[in-house]
Structure 1
Amino acid sequence: MTPVRGIQTCYAWLARHRKRMYLLCLALLVLCGAIMFKLQVRDDVGIMLPDSGSLQRSLALMDMTPFARTVFIELQASSDAGGGEALLAVAKTVAARLQPPHFSPVLPDSQTIPAPGKLMRLLPALVDADDMAALKARVTPEAMAQRMAGNYTTLLGMNGMLAKRFIQADPLGFLEILLAKWNRLQVFGGAQVRDGFLLKPDGRSLLMMLKTDVSVTDAGQSETLMKEVDAALQSLPVGMDATVLSGHRYALANAGTIKSDLRRVFAASGLGLLLIFMVFIRSRDVLWMALLPGAVLVIAGAVLAGCYDAVSGITLGFGAVLLGITVDFALHVWFALRHADGSPGQAVARVARPVLYGAATSMGAFAALLTSDISGIRQLAVFALVGLISGLALALLVLPHLVRPAVVRSSAPLQAGACRWNLPLAALVIAVLGLGIWAGSGVGIDRQLRSVGMFPEELQQAEQRIRRNWGGARDSAVLFAEGATLDQALERNHQLAEVLAKQLPHSGVVSLDPLWPPPEVQRVNRERWARFIAKHGSAIASELPVAAAGYGFSAQAFAPFLRFLSESPALLDADIFDRAGVAGLNGLLHVAHDARQYVLTLLPDTPEVQRMAASGALPQGVILVSNQALGRMLGRGISKDFILFICVACSCMFLLLLLFFRRMEFTLLAMVPLLSGIVAVLVLMRLSGGSFNLFNVVALPLVIGLGADYGIFMVCKLRSGADLGTSRAVLVSGLTTVAGFGALVLARHPGLHTLGCTVLVGVGMAIPVALLLLPALYRRTT
């Protein structure tokens, strides 16, 4: 039994059991509604990024960078609001309100003074060949005498009590070599670390950095987090203001925009559909037409709730599009029933074949989206496929029993005559389409991650302000030296430091290597230190007390330093840095995650850095993560998806149309509307200077599927000469689709807006091409 014959048989059987069918449909909708009620909406743009491959790994690494999941709070004071001490007092009050589990400080509390004796024990493993000359210059008799004079003056000064421990442990200034290495970790140049905050030298600006365990893509937790921050910043003293910058703010902006857009889109699309139905249907059947899209959304939403733990708000916004697409099948069935000469079962059977093939082409276009690496796009595909299947079933099996008997009889079919192709017009169409494809081939790929999200002007201004005042550390490129062990990660980081020193010697690199080299480098440094002590240790031990006695120091004043010189140096590890009181600084550039060790290097995200990484100059196990690198990978992913989607969708359309019409000329004729829609999008983007992003890629297969639908119905009409209200059905179904996508144009969210604009242009071109150009290309003479 053919599908068409089966549908006619189903109509006859259901006509005898209509009450049971109505009860079954009602029960199904109630059940789906209960399941859909449990649907969890995820309001972020992370779901619109690839979830596999190198980009996903880079995003995971980006989450481990020093300033990921960090809330930046800048406090500024006017000239009459007090100086740095006033800012510090306010910052401590704010920090006291922002405590774990949500918040923890990024910088260590500088009130914990590092232990000088333990700091000295770091030195032997860090003294390289360049440092040795400075050490030798400090141990001559003249240099020791000069240093003792300086020590004596310091002890008599205001900071004498604070300096006493340091002078006792390091009378010759060896720690200055270590301090020079530490200065290379200065990410916010010129700022002083005070009590765990960054304070500008003028005392007018202070930066708080608070780490949080809340992901920047978790809109629900981000809302709670930002409420805590806003509450902590209430009642600031007069003359002080605060600027907050965090990825969580962007997540909230996206979530709020999507929610407001959903309300606007559904209201506008629903109103548009109702007006179209009232103008073209003008029957009480409009009630069933209006209810059908809602039933489809309930069923599709229930399937999403069963398949996914959480669904993107963008996917739900796409439901407005389904309002226009799924009703197409119902419109063709309704017009066929209203123009039928025979029984309703026969009318349904006559229209079933083009409706089924139209549904198949639309499903083929949406099925192409299932090949995407992007979770959000796969959700769109599932949502659309379930909506199309349920809409098709309702249109062919249920709607015919709800529609009133026909009152408009079909006009007589056109008399059979010679079929003529308008060859000159066909040649012109081919030339125009070819020219359009050539012109559109120059459309580029938008590689900016921001093109898929909402970035309000207020947050952009806050970002620019903090970048202007504190530099662009949070925008730095990050090089991850990965290892199965910490030693392996440190070795790769050392190799990276050598590469950067040769290729980017003046690039502002912030590296851990000078302070934490790999064990082999430490071994060489300790041997160098041992040779230095063997040669100069005795002289230091004998001449230092003499130089010290000249300024009244006792013989035992520097005993801790002399004991240090006689100790065997140890290899550096995290415990040694912790005991020295400086583990927090190193912790910014060392991360352990999933049984892997990562040592990080920061540097400006410049084209030179990108070219160096692309050339293969980075050592094995070193990975570059930056906005530019992510944009490049995103661009490659979009290009791949674009080519794959177009090839798969067009191939499906061609094969399905060829299977349906079984003649090449009618297959090509039916493809003209979809090709026209694609060309219209390409040309408009070329003329406007636009470029493809993720949402354009999603939209083009939809244009292909819808254009193929219109082509099928019009070619069927032209071949048979029978009028089942096809032209009117194509027009109305096209208008319903335009109403759905037109509503998306009203969205403020860039993704939804782009999706609406792309399909609106493509479908807006496919409709007149199907209604006007196809009859002109293939004419039947009487």
Structure 2
Amino acid sequence: MRRRFLRFLAITTFRHAWFFFPLLALLTAGAVHTLRRMEVDTSLVAFLPPASPEALNIREVVRDYRNLEPIVVTVRSREPGHEAVLISVATELARWLDDARYFLPPIYRVDELAQDYYSSLSDLRLIQLLTPEDWAELRDADNLARHLKRLAAHRLNAFAPAEVRRARTLREDPLGALEAIQRRVAISRGPTRLETRDGYFMSPDGRAIYLLLYPVVSAENGRNATRILWFLQSSRRSILERRAPWADLVEIDFAGNHVTTARQIESVQDDFDKILKITVPLAFLLVLLVFHKLESLFFIFLPPAIGLVWTLALATLAFNGISAVMAAFLIVISAMGIGYSIHMYHRFTLELYQKRNYYRALSRSYVETGRGVLASAVIVTVLFALLFVTSLRDVQHWRDLSRILRDSQGLAQFGIIAAIAILCNMLACLIVIPLFASLKALLARGRVKPVQLYRFSLERFYEPAVTRPRMTLGVMLLLSVFLGYQARNLDFFPRFASISAFFYPADEQLGEADNRFGRPGRPVIAVVRGDTLQRALEQNDQLYRNLNRLDRDVYGILSYDSLRIALPSIRSQQEALNELRRIDLARLRDELQAAAGDLKLAPGVFQRYLEQLRQLQLRSDNPDFLRFSANESDALKNTVWRYLTSREDPDGKRQYYVATMIYPRAGGFPPDRLDAMTAALRVDLDQLELIGDPFVERELAQLIKYNLAIMILMAVLCILLGLILHFRSSRLAWLVFIPVVAEIVWICGLMALANLRIHFFTVLALPLILSLVLDNALQLTQYHHDRRPCSVRHAMLAVGRVIPLTAGIMALCYGTFALMRHPGFRQFGLTVLLGSAAVLVGSAMLLPALLQLLGRGQSLGVVLRVDSETEI
């Protein structure tokens, strides 16, 4: 069946090239056009199964709160004493960056909420915002003495205009609520503990001023992050060019998730460009060295390129885009397509030089080598399809299955797209090679000009295996035992699923060494919810209390950004008013009079102060609570929408969600204290979702490790079963299976010796190596079996050159990633290099020795006669 199908495909495509060429061009052009609307998601969330409620919440929160994580713009002066210049630069920069396409209005003075919103509130409403911690501070005896000293200072300087305004503020805000709130706002509205100086976010040494930019687009889209970084850099360049003196006095830097994402992309692209400019020509030269014809480049490299374009187009049509990690993996899968093309073109060339007939050469190469390519592709496709099957354990309803099929997220989609990619590469190879063969026959008018193919001197490897197979197998066994013993030291990277864990640009630091603000790490979004707005706000107030109870140093917390500072629940506002009513005015009067005597002040100086408190207590019986309504100020409404969202649950009930950003220090939250912090945050809360890299990485690590264990077990069974079905012989299947297992063991041992660890990037290289091992072992075994009578030496002379060719192409195209700056890609490149070496040794020594001992069915006399034959 397979033979007839492959022969029909080859001959039909060859004879009707006039029809298939335009069809191929039309399909590829349409696929390229489709790629224009492809979105690339850089989020870790992309690999969580979308059928789970946690993944749904994460995705929706990332969408709704995409602008919660700000970008910090740092304007530094190169020398001290330029505070005025810093303010001028910040003002001009804020004007340039105030672009609604990218950001909300920049913040560089004491928060606009404190300026516009808090200042507009009545004194009683200000008091309603106070937290229990604020009341504890206001009741403190030291705070009371500080107030008295300031009142005394105002009395002694009563005629100074500035002091008159401050005295009026104290009389109108007797408890100092506005000051406490402004101080709290200044240190809890950004990614770090911001401090103020003269109304600006300025470092204590006066050499840096900071702006906060809240983007309107998500950093999870790599294209958006790149556009934002380009806008920031162009704004900086324009300002410094327009004001030449500023370029010598200040420097402007950017930090934040969007900036980090864009810089990672730029860094990887820059390394790719530099490496590919060298490695791609070397790979081309290696192919030309073997085949001595320029046409070989088109036969080998064009089919996987077309297959990649088809895959990306199908992913865009089905899922509207892919993740950045999936895109990288598709590039790796293209290496499998290169392997298929090398095997097919090499066999076609051999048959063409022997038979001098294009029809017979295509028919023979497709029937024999094509069957091996088809078997290998189907086996690897089944392995990736198992990722989809394992994800079905989360499906509890048909709607969950439909969500998996339509969304470009989760390991299920990863398996689907990877399987599609392999099939597209195989199909492109099987279609393109006959078309090019037809074009070649047309241009050459049917003539064939054979050339000698390069052999790589492989006899140094396979001759010991052919002449002394038992000794070779013994050595290979000892090598397997040694490397298998070393493989026990191979462990998982703690942040297995993290991509950003390997890379954090040095220029993202915010100058902690210069006594400036601490550099924040990636934040965690804490989300509470309720069936009413007030219930959600009550939950958020409790979360704020839990945060205040945590020891920042123990849990690595730098700052947090909460709606509690702008809109507490009515219950919390009532509690604040109750604290106001508990103030004993008579006792306070006695304390003030005693303190006034010590300061030699007249007792009447506090009369206005006490009367104000009395009026506040009376008015607290009929309060004007802060609510989220149309009657409130625009400053409040604009601020609330940054934290609050609502949507209907599956039952049609409205749910309200409130988010709080929790920022760690640069090193992130301590992994060993993450569970304790989670438990402390959940105290007295009905429902709390913690969303961020630490939690996503932990869930992904468990998910991937679980699936990895299943995949290893299923891979062993699928490969063995697939080989048995392909050869219809258990003996031949084991001849291929043993080298595959041995070489995988060698690679694990070599990784352990090279101090490599199992993480996303090293796992990314394993399918590539597995495909390379399987292709070489299957093709050599099949050639030895199909061409009976055939000796091992003859098989190695005929098709053995493909082994170093494929290993060399993989080492050049992917192993050179070891030269990249990104540690993850560097370890990926090292893994590919080790894998290429293991494949070369296993395919050129271990497999020939097994074939020499177990490749029965051929008489010795025939084998010796065949050994004397020459093969191009």
Q: Is the 8 A contact 1:339 1:725 kept in 2?
A: no
Give the Cα–Cα distance (whole angstroms) in 2 for the partners of residues 167 and 578 of structure 1: 28
RMSD: 5.0
1:531-588, Cα deviation, whole Å (9 max, x unpaired): 557x869989xx99x9999577799898765543321253753559997999599769
- Kindly tell me: are residues 277 and 76 of structure 1, through their superposed partners in 2, closer, same or farther at Cα, counting changes over 3 Å? closer
3-state SS in 2 of match to 1:472 = coil
3-state SS in 1 of match to 2:489 = coil
Q: Is the 8 A contact 2:71 2:214 kept in 1?
A: yes
Q: Which residue of 1 aligns with 2:849?
A: 776
Q: Is the 8 A contact 2:473 2:846 kept in 1?
A: no
Give the Cα–Cα distance (whole angstroms) in 2 for the partners of residues 481 and 277 of structure 1: 60
- Please report how far the alpha carbon of residue 446 of structure 1 lies from its aligned counterpart in structure 2 after TM superposition: 3.2
Aligned AA (1:121)? R
1:404-423 to 2 correspondences below 5 Å: none
Q: Is the 8 A contact 1:126 1:525 kept in 2?
A: yes
Q: Which residue of 1 aligns with 2:489?
A: 442
Q: Is the 8 A contact 2:188 2:560 kept in 1?
A: yes
Q: When the two structures are aligned, how many residues end up with a matched partner? A: 761
Q: Which residue of 2 aligns with 1:711?
A: 777
1:147-195, Cα deviation, whole Å (9 max, x unpaired): 8656534644452232243233234656677678668748755721655
3-state SS in 2 of match to 1:598 = strand
Q: Which moved more, 1:419-428 or 1:155-164?
A: 419-428
Give the Cα–Cα distance (whole angstroms) in 2 for the partners of residues 613 and 486 of structure 1: 26
Give the Cα–Cα distance (whole angstroms) in 2 for the partners of residues 3 and 397 of structure 1: 20
3-state SS in 2 of match to 1:278 = helix
Aligned AA (1:305)? A
Q: Which moved more, 1:723-732 or 1:98-107?
A: 723-732
Give the Cα–Cα distance (whole angstroms) in 2 for the partners of residues 348 and 486 of structure 1: 72
1:668-679 to 2 correspondences below 5 Å: 668-679=734-745
3-state SS in 1 of match to 2:511 = helix
Give the Cα–Cα distance (whole angstroms) in 1 for the partners of residues 329 and 148 of structure 2: 76
Give the Cα–Cα distance (whole angstroms) in 2 for the partners of residues 453 and 180 of structure 1: 34
Q: Which residue of 2 aligns with 1:335?
A: 350
> Can you give the 5+ residue segments of structure 1 that lack an aligned partner in the other structure?
410-418
1:704-735, Cα deviation, whole Å (9 max, x unpaired): 22212222222234443437866543422651
Q: Which residue of 1 aligns with 2:652?
A: none
The answer as to 2:603 corresponding to 1:565 is: no
Higher relative contact order at CA 8 Å, sep ≥6: structure 1 or structure 2?
Answer: 1
The answer as to 2:409 corresponding to 1:356 is: no
2:288 counterpart (278, 289, 292): 278
Q: Which residue of 2 aligns with 1:105?
A: 106
Q: Which residue of 2 aligns with 1:492?
A: 539
Q: Which residue of 2 aligns with 1:649?
A: 715
3-state SS in 2 of match to 1:689 = coil
The answer as to 2:229 corresponding to 1:204 is: no
Give the Cα–Cα distance (whole angstroms) in 2 for the partners of residues 80 and 133 of structure 1: 35
Give the Cα–Cα distance (whole angstroms) in 1 for the partners of residues 588 and 510 of structure 2: 57
Q: Is the 8 A contact 1:131 1:177 kept in 2?
A: no
Give the Cα–Cα distance (whole angstroms) in 1 for the partners of residues 171 and 360 of structure 2: 103
The answer as to 2:729 corresponding to 1:663 is: yes
Q: Which residue of 2 aligns with 1:72?
A: 72
- Please report how far the alpha carbon of residue 246 of structure 1 lies from its aligned counterpart in structure 2 after TM superposition: 3.4
Q: Is the 8 A contact 2:6 2:366 kept in 1?
A: no
- Kindly tell me: are residues 449 and 368 of structure 1, through their superposed partners in 2, closer, same or farther at Cα, counting changes over 3 Å? same
Give the Cα–Cα distance (whole angstroms) in 1 for the partners of residues 93 and 225 of structure 2: 23
Give the Cα–Cα distance (whole angstroms) in 1 for the partners of residues 207 and 147 of structure 2: 41
- Please report how far the alpha carbon of residue 689 of structure 1 lies from its aligned counterpart in structure 2 after TM superposition: 1.4
The answer as to 2:699 corresponding to 1:633 is: yes
Give the Cα–Cα distance (whole angstroms) in 2 for the partners of residues 33 and 603 of structure 1: 46
Give the Cα–Cα distance (whole angstroms) in 2 for the partners of residues 139 and 432 of structure 1: 75
Q: Which moved more, 1:695-704 or 1:88-97?
A: 695-704
- Kindly tell me: are residues 716 and 518 of structure 1, through their superposed partners in 2, closer, same or farther at Cα, counting changes over 3 Å? same
Give the Cα–Cα distance (whole angstroms) in 2 for the partners of residues 511 and 242 of structure 1: 25
- Kindly tell me: are residues 676 and 344 of structure 1, through their superposed partners in 2, closer, same or farther at Cα, counting changes over 3 Å? farther
Q: Is the 8 A contact 1:437 1:682 kept in 2?
A: yes
Q: Which moved more, 1:488-497 or 1:765-774?
A: 488-497
Q: Which residue of 1 aligns with 2:298?
A: 290
Q: Which residue of 1 aligns with 2:675?
A: 611
1:472 counterpart (519, 524, 544): 519
- Kindly tell me: are residues 624 and 506 of structure 1, through their superposed partners in 2, closer, same or farther at Cα, counting changes over 3 Å? same
1:221-250, Cα deviation, whole Å (9 max, x unpaired): 235423443235413524222222233333
TM-score using structure 1 length: 0.80
1:395-410 to 2 correspondences below 5 Å: 395=433, 399=437, 402=440
1:14-63, Cα deviation, whole Å (9 max, x unpaired): 67xx2x32442244225423532552366774489525455785576568
Aligned AA (2:124)? M
TM-score using structure 2 length: 0.73
The answer as to 2:306 corresponding to 1:246 is: no
1:35-93, Cα deviation, whole Å (9 max, x unpaired): 325523667744895254557855765687798552222222244653x3332222112
Q: Which moved more, 1:484-493 or 1:651-660?
A: 484-493
- Kindly tell me: are residues 732 and 244 of structure 1, through their superposed partners in 2, closer, same or farther at Cα, counting changes over 3 Å? same
- Please report how far the alpha carbon of residue 682 of structure 1 lies from its aligned counterpart in structure 2 after TM superposition: 1.4
1:360-375 to 2 correspondences below 5 Å: 360-369=375-384, 371=387, 373=410
3-state SS in 2 of match to 1:690 = coil
Aligned AA (1:697)? V
Give the Cα–Cα distance (whole angstroms) in 2 for the partners of residues 239 and 147 of structure 1: 38
1:643-699, Cα deviation, whole Å (9 max, x unpaired): 344344333221110112333333222023322332233122211211223232232
Q: Is the 8 A contact 2:383 2:711 kept in 1?
A: yes
Give the Cα–Cα distance (whole angstroms) in 1 for the partners of residues 180 and 229 of structure 2: 46
Aligned AA (1:566)? L
Q: Is the 8 A contact 1:731 1:771 kept in 2?
A: no
1:320-372, Cα deviation, whole Å (9 max, x unpaired): 62563231222223324434599953883476245323332234324534527
3-state SS in 2 of match to 1:90 = helix
Q: Which residue of 2 aligns with 1:416?
A: none
Q: Which residue of 2 aligns with 1:230?
A: 236
- Kindly tell me: are residues 135 and 775 of structure 1, through their superposed partners in 2, closer, same or farther at Cα, counting changes over 3 Å? closer
Q: Is the 8 A contact 2:756 2:827 kept in 1?
A: no
Q: Is the 8 A contact 2:81 2:206 kept in 1?
A: no
Give the Cα–Cα distance (whole angstroms) in 2 for the partners of residues 555 and 616 of structure 1: 45
3-state SS in 1 of match to 2:799 = helix
